[in-house]
Every structure is written in C-alpha cells, then in structure tokens.
C-alpha cells in the first residue's frame, strides 16, 4: 500500500468516526470520547504527513503550489482551528454552561463540513492529472 493511499484511508476512517460521533450526541460521554479520538487521530495524521512529506514547507510555497493544494491546505488549517473552538465550547458545555450549546452546534457543522472538504480535496491534491481536470472544469 502506498503512503498516499495509507493517509487517504486514515482520513476516510477519521471522517467516518466523526460521523458516528455526531450520531452519538445524545449520549454525551460516548460523543465526547469518540469526537476526542477523531480529533486526536486527525492531528496525529497531520503530524504523520508533515514528518513524511514536509507538508508545511510545501504549503509555505503557496505561490508555486497548484490551486487545489492551496485550497486543500486552507480547508485543513480551518478544520484544525475548528477543532480548537469545538474543544473550547465543548468543555464549557461539560461544565454546565449551556449558553455555549448553540455555538457548539454551529461550529460543529462548519468544522464537519471543512473536514469533509479536506477529505475531498486531498484526493485531487495528490495527482497533477486531477488538478488539470479540476482547473478545466472551473475555468
């Protein structure tokens, strides 16, 4: 199995775990455990990708990168920011500060969508041939 395929498979499993965790929202303890695992695993995946591919160095060359790679990196960074906000609001809710629930719900939807977009763009960011197809379709 290629390294890229291994990362893609992990990403798909993380997204699936998040989806399952969302459906467990009525069982607070299970929801927290599943979502914490998914977030931790996703951060570990980011570290794996960085250590094997120097992803931050590549992303820092934004002017030289393909459009889809820059879009993918933006979604990935926004997802991590979303995780931080989700953890913050989730911890407030666990401390019985119910006023954070509406924000947590909205942030959850946004973060989940960003994670989905990260997953989708990761497939296109891997292949220059796919980049040509996307660029042609957009323009």
* Consecutive 10-residue averages of pLDDT for the chain (139 residues): 85 97 96 98 91 66 67 92 98 96 97 96 71 47
- Confidence (pLDDT) at 135: 47
Domain ranges of the chain: 3-138
The sign of the dihedral angle between the CA atoms of 32, 35, 38, 41 is negative
Find where tokens 């401390």 sit. Answer: 95
- Confidence (pLDDT) at 61: 59
| Contact status, residue 46 vs residue 79, Cβ threshold 8 Å | no
- Confidence (pLDDT) at 139: 43
User: Tokens for 122?
Assistant: 């990761």
């Amino acid at each position: 199995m290629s390294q890229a395929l291994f990362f893609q498979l992990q990403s798909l499993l993380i997204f699936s775990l998040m989806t399952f965790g969302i459906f467990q929202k009525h069982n607070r303890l299970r929801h927290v455990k599943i979502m914490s695992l998914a977030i931790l695993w996703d951060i570990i995946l980011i570290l794996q990708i960085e250590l094997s591919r120097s992803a931050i160095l590549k992303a820092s060359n934004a002017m030289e990168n393909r459009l889809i790679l820059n879009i993918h990196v933006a979604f990935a960074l926004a997802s991590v920011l979303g995780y931080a906000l989700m953890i913050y609001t989730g911890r407030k809710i666990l401390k019985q500060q119910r006023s954070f629930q509406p924000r947590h719900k909205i942030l959850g939807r946004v973060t989940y969508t960003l994670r989905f977009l990260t997953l989708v763009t990761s497939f296109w960011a891997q292949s220059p041939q796919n980049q040509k197809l996307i660029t042609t379709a957009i323009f």
